[in-house]
Amino acid sequence: EVQLVESGGGSVQAGGSLRLSCAASRYTISNHLMGWFRQAPGKEREGVAAILSDGSTTYADSVKGRFTISRDNAKNTLYLQMNSLKPEDTGMYYCAAPLQGRWVFRPQVLVPSAYDYWGQGTQVTVSS
């Protein structure tokens, strides 16, 4: 069974930083697209960042220049470095992965329905 376990969330003041981690089990992240998503109360889940198997990355406009997605293949772990945090970044953050062998077109890499495996989430709260 594939497992994705997020960690690193917390409460910070606006302008602060956090680094989220997502440890994967029974799933080789270097071979696949991986994504970070977030969901604020009362809002739909939205894509934040994605990293493709070739290492290329995509970001939502709202986080460009502030967030960085990366991975450590040796540790089979995905990261999201979040800088210059804003109150509107508050939400539950999830990492996600598609079924092995599933092809996801580039325009879809920040769309939740393109992903099949999800972690339990880690809460990020940014106060003003």
When pLDDT is cut at 50, 70 and 90, the band that residue 101 belongs to is: confident
Q: What is the pLDDT of residue 50?
A: 98
- Give CA–CA dist 121/68, Å, rounded: 18
- Rounded to 10 degrees, what is the CA torsion of 19, 87, 119, 110? -100
In the prediction, which pLDDT does 13 show? Answer: 98
Mean pLDDT of the chain: 97
pLDDT confidence tier of residue 78, bands split at 50, 70 and 90: very high
